[in-house]
Amino acid sequence: MRPDLGEVRASIGYPGFVEVRVRTEQLFVNPVPGSLWVRDLDTQEGRVVVGSLESPAGSAQFQAAHAECGAKGIFVIFHTERAPTAQERVKIVDVLRKHVNTDPVAFVLQQETGRAMVELSEADAAQTAAVAVAVLKAVWAWDESPSFTISVNGKDYAVATDFDGIAWQGEVLPC
């Protein structure tokens, strides 16, 4: 069993660790009505951030995490039933821009044990995205791999994750 989320630290390609904080609420985005909402973990009730809680029939919602990596934020979007289409990805970025203007968005398009394929809205945040995806896969107990290969915009990053008893850690390793 994995420990609670707690504080997450990640080394993202430069000396020292950068704290990565992830909201403990469950964040969801639905591109069709253009909504962003959170589910309170205690009450299980939804609270609208952008748009409404209503979802048209046939629309898909995607689970999101808003992580803060030092001074830089990043949204990581995981699919629940299927990966978002290119058109849905554009709409999701638009919805998130209404919430936070500048943070890059990482879409996990495919994943399996120890691996994930990610499309990132800003290429300069690739290492941040790789660490965030690997740590979230570990923290949310979807994947207990000792290390991960995260492909961001076609480039592979090897990432190790660990819980040191206080915080989750992730580190980009040489490939």
Domain with residue 101: its CATH number is 3.10.310
Alpha helices in the chain (DSSP H): 86-99, 126-139
Query: Could you tell me if 77 and 91 are in contact, meaning their C-beta atoms sit under 8 angstroms apart?
Result: no
User: For residue 6, what pLDDT is reported?
Assistant: 44
pLDDT in tens, 129-159: 998 899 888 887 678 898 999 999 999 999 8
The domain tally of the chain equals 1
Within 13 Å, how many C-alpha atoms sit on residue 33's CB side? 20
pLDDT by residue (tens digit) across 64-85? 888 876 667 889 999 888 899 9
Could you tell me if residue 94 is inside a domain?
yes
DSSP state string for 85-99 = PHHHHHHHHHHHHHH
Residue 117 above 90 pLDDT? yes
Residue 1 within any structural domain of the chain: no
Q: What is the pLDDT of residues 28-42, one digit of tens each?
A: 888 888 888 887 767
Residue 167's domain comprises 7-173
Provide the pLDDT for residue 2: 42
